[in-house]
Amino acid sequence: CSRCQRRHRGLPEAAEAQASRGPGRRGPGPGPDAGSLTKQAERTVATDWKKKLTPEQFYVTRQKGTEPPFSGIYLNNTEPGIYYCLCCNAPLFSSEKKYDSGTGWPSFSEAYGTCGRDESNTNIMRRPDNSLGSTRTEVICKQCDAHLGHVFDDGPAPSRQRFCINSLSLNFKRGSSR
């Protein structure tokens, strides 16, 4: 909507280009419907990520791990700026929507680019997660499929959302948070 476009106009140029590619786009070339990767290709992609990320970052972002509570470098960060995907640099969350949930992980009330309840202009996707015997909602990067954390319905008004995000999946850039 025009209100949101005005609000996000301060997005850095590289992030603007990344965000404008649209849902599921990972750069030039075929979109996400180009077919599934072969097992060999999947192993090659995993090897590439292992070269680019620390073992801890790889565990969290590519193997759906979780960093220990109260250990993340961004938990107590209060500087204005934007939190980007560590793997692909897509803008994910604004410091304006960060709050202290007391859970031990950086928490946000909405994703960057959200307009009301519309998340179509964000770089996040939600997926059901039944991995621990209960149903949760996983949050992943729409551009590179990095695991970011989970979202819960116990956050502050008006969104009532608590995006509980691993610091190891983020890169913070200080500056305008709009």
Catalytic residue (one of 85, 87, 144, 164): 164
Which tokens in the block code for residue 67?
């960093």
Q: What are phi and psi of 60, to 5 degrees?
A: -75, -50
**Cα–Cα distance measured from residue 28 to residue 32, given in angstroms and rounded to the nearest whole number:** 11
* Separation of CA 136 from chain center: 16
The answer to whether residue 164 is catalytic is yes
Cβ-contact 123, 112 below 8 angstroms? yes
**Cα–Cα distance measured from residue 46 to residue 58, given in angstroms and rounded to the nearest whole number:** 9
Which of the residues are catalytic?
A: 164
